[in-house]
Amino acid sequence: MRTPHQNLTESFPELKEAFHHLKVNDHHFQHVLKQYEELDTQVHKVDHEQEAMSEIELEKVKKERVALKDTLYTLMTKCKAEMNL
């Protein structure tokens, strides 16, 4: 089953300013974002049959991706609240 590709600013438009601030200024955010984007790319390659992966491994990668997305969301909401964005 193909999953729609959405970047984080499309998923969380209300956090767009926080996303851009953290992407430029926060090394931890940058690191987590890079991990998220790598897993997201991997999932989309499997979805579009450009890469093979077992169902078990794919589910593991998807769970890791969700956990990273949750972390990014938490960092963005915290930034927005602290900076009154």
What would the pLDDT profile of 54-81 be if each residue is shown by its tens digit? 999 999 999 999 999 999 999 999 999 9
Tell me what the pLDDT averaged over the chain comes to.
Answer: 93
pTM recorded for the entire structure? 0.89
Where are the chain's structural domains? 15-83
C-alpha distances in Å from residue 66, one per residue of 9, 72, 84: 15, 10, 26
Q: Chain-centre distance of CA 58, in angstroms?
A: 16
